[in-house]
């Protein structure tokens, strides 16, 4: 069988290396690589045999599997094992879309374009690796490898407090990863798993005692949760987002936050089912606090980008809630939400970036009535906000609807909390639009131009997907429910 996933990785790897070397022509190399990547992902999707109910191969239910020995020492068996199921395919598609969009959006990057585009692609490469890894160490390798390019993206191209934000981001997430690594090692060696492969860990992990499972689950959850980010470990996010360059924020919100959710689903919830059940009350509490906190704090923000950043925390809280429900419907909702939030938050961060360099400020109260002077930008603000607050026919609606349904299913009247918070979310987006887009013009410099072509092209691409999957959500749903681990134990 043709090693398709390795070929995709190799495409990105070679493309990234060439981009670093290409200097002024980096953007063309980056664009070509990203389009090739997107085409390969399209082929992956088209050839995915599990629509639904697929089971064959090394690990049942995973398509396009490859496995090669990497470190074999007898007591330590680490392989390069990759494979995809529906859940990872959805997130890989997200990676490809966001990479293309980010490359197009930053078409005019003039500060060291070779390094900029190279690091952007390296980040996406790491995320792709996380989504395809079926070996727990390989997963960790890619997970950590994402940190380094993002550190440089924030620290070199970022805003005024970029140095502080970059170091904080690096240290926070690295410390969390270390705790996760302790959990991973303990999981492998205490469960008696024969190798670090998913199949072996999956089979061995559920055999552990409930107490052990709970401790391991919490260690893993801490690592994943900081990426989410969960309150109270979220403080790196507003700093990183606000100081990151627009492309960096897009990748941070669109992809990096999804790593936490994906990791929790793939490597914790299903591998340690009893631990998960024991920890459910903790997860619910954290999820509700994160939802409420993210939303309330957004309401108080004056800075558009900061507002979007806090609303990301709120959305990821809903993802955590959906996962914590421990039902098939909740899992479906979580993955849909991650995809939707990936596209929509990317759009919103692009919008805030564009507002910033069109008007020189992101301060909401000091802007007003920008629609007549920059109609395209204003449209994008509107589409992004409406999508984020969950308007039907746009991508977030099916996702949030499923999440609420699953919550009602699992927790009955507790659904009023996320439902009520949705109203608050709608409130701060509409209030923002009312102040910024409409009313008498305020803070508009003379000779202001609407978006350059590349920025509108990038945003349009995202808008297309927002509408496409808003109308045809079953395209994603079918993929997700085809995944082998769709059924929760005990449901």
For residues 130 to 169, the per-residue mask of contacts with other proteins, x marking binding by CB under 8 A and - elsewhere, is -------x--xxx-xx-xx--xx--xx-----xx--xx--
- Can residue 76 be called a binding residue for other proteins (CB under 8 A)? yes
Size of the site for other proteins (CB under 8 A): 37
Whole-Å CA distances, 95 to 122, 216, 331, 436: 12, 29, 20, 31
Tell which residue, 48, 144, 51, 52, has the closest CA to residue 93.
48
Residue 63 CA to residue 260 CA, distance in Å, equals 23
* Distance of closest approach, residue 88 Cβ to other proteins, in angstroms: 20
For other proteins, the closer of residues 126 and 317 by Cβ is 126
For other proteins, the closer of residues 179 and 426 by Cβ is 179
Residue 473 CA to residue 469 CA, distance in Å, equals 5
For other proteins, the closer of residues 1 and 110 by Cβ is 110
Out of 171, 300, 416, 472, point to the residue binding other proteins (CB under 8 A): 171
First and final C-alpha spacing in the chain: 36
- Can residue 189 be called a binding residue for other proteins (CB under 8 A)? yes
* Distance of closest approach, residue 242 Cβ to other proteins, in angstroms: 16
For other proteins, the closer of residues 80 and 488 by Cβ is 80
- Can residue 262 be called a binding residue for other proteins (CB under 8 A)? no
For other proteins, the closer of residues 177 and 290 by Cβ is 177
- Can residue 186 be called a binding residue for other proteins (CB under 8 A)? yes
* Distance of closest approach, residue 172 Cβ to other proteins, in angstroms: 10
* Distance of closest approach, residue 131 Cβ to other proteins, in angstroms: 16
* Distance of closest approach, residue 75 Cβ to other proteins, in angstroms: 5
- Can residue 10 be called a binding residue for other proteins (CB under 8 A)? no
How crowded is residue 446: how many other Cβ atoms within 10 Å of its Cβ? 5
Out of 35, 36, 58, 182, point to the residue binding other proteins (CB under 8 A): 182
For other proteins, the closer of residues 74 and 447 by Cβ is 74
* Distance of closest approach, residue 174 Cβ to other proteins, in angstroms: 5
Out of 1, 2, 46, 75, point to the residue binding other proteins (CB under 8 A): 75
* Distance of closest approach, residue 226 Cβ to other proteins, in angstroms: 12
* Distance of closest approach, residue 180 Cβ to other proteins, in angstroms: 10
How crowded is residue 360: how many other Cβ atoms within 10 Å of its Cβ? 13
* Distance of closest approach, residue 412 Cβ to other proteins, in angstroms: 41
For residues 16 to 45, the per-residue mask of contacts with other proteins, x marking binding by CB under 8 A and - elsewhere, is ------------------------------
Contact between 428 and 469 under an 8 Å Cβ cutoff? The reply is: no
- Can residue 14 be called a binding residue for other proteins (CB under 8 A)? no
Out of 62, 105, 131, 170, point to the residue binding other proteins (CB under 8 A): 170
For other proteins, the closer of residues 72 and 442 by Cβ is 72
Out of 72, 161, 357, 442, point to the residue binding other proteins (CB under 8 A): 72
Radius of gyration of the chain (CA): 21
Contact between 326 and 410 under an 8 Å Cβ cutoff? The reply is: yes
Question: Binding residues for other proteins, per CB under 8 A?
Answer: 69-76, 137, 140-142, 144-145, 147-148, 151-152, 155-156, 162-163, 166-167, 170-171, 174-175, 178-179, 181-182, 185-186, 188-190
């Amino acid at each position: 069988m043709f090693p398709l996933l390795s070929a995709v990785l190799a495409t990105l790897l070679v493309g990234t290396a060439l981009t670093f070397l290409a200097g002024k022509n980096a953007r063309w190399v980056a664009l070509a690589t990203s389009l090739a990547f997107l085409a390969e992902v399209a082929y992956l999707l088209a050839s995915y045999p599990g629509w639904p109910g697929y089971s064959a191969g090394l690990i049942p239910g995973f398509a396009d599997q490859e496995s090669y020995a990497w470190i074999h020492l007898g007591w330590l068996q680490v392989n390069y094992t990759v494979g995809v199921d529906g859940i990872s395919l959805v997130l890989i598609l997200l990676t490809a879309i966001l990479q293309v969009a980010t490359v197009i959006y930053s078409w005019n990057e003039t500060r060291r374009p070779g390094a900029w585009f190279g690091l952007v692609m390296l980040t996406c490469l790491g995320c792709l690796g996380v989504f395809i890894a079926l070996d727990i160490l390989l997963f960790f390798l890619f997970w950590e490898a994402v940190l380094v390019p993002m550190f440089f993206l924030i620290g070199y191209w970022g805003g005024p407090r970029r140095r502080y934000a970059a170091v904080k981001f690096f240290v926070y997430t690295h410390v969390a990863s270390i705790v996760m690594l302790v959990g991973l090692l303990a999981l492998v060696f205490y469960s008696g798993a024969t190798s670090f492969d998913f199949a072996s860990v999956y089979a061995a992990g559920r055999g552990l005692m409930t107490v052990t499972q709970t401790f391991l689950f919490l260690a893993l959850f801490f690592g994943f949760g900081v990426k989410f980010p969960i309150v109270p470990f979220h403080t790196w996010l507003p700093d990183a987002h606000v100081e990151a360059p627009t492309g960096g924020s897009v990748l941070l919100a669109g992809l990096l936050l999804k790593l936490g959710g994906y990791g929790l689903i793939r490597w914790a919830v299903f591998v340690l089912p009893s631990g998960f059940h024991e920890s459910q009350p903790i997860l619910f509490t954290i999820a509700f606090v994160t939802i409420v906190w993210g939303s309330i704090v957004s309401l108080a923000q004056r800075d558009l980008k900061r507002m979007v950043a806090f609303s990301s925390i709120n959305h990821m809280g809903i993802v955590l809630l959906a996962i914590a429900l421990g039902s098939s419907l909740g899992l479906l909702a979580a993955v849909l939400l991650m995809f939707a939030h990936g596209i929509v938050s990317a759009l919103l961060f692009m919008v805030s970036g564009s507002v910033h360099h069109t008007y020189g400020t992101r301060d909401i109260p000091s802007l007003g009535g920008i629609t007549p002077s920059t109609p395209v930008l204003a449209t994008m603000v509107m589409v992004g906000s409406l999508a984020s607050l969950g308007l039907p026919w746009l991508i977030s609606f099916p996702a949030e609807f499923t999440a609420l349904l699953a919550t009602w299913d699992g927790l009955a009247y507790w659904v009023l909390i996320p439902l009520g918070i949705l109203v608050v979310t709608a409130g701060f987006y509409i209030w923002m639009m009312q102040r910024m887009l409409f009313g008498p013009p305020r803070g508009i410099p003379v000779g202001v131009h609407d978006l350059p072509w590349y920025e509108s092209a990038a945003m349009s691409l995202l808008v297309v997907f927002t509408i496409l999957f808003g109308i045809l959500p079953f395209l994603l749903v079918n993929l997700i429910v085809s995944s082998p681990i769709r059924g929760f134990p005990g449901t």
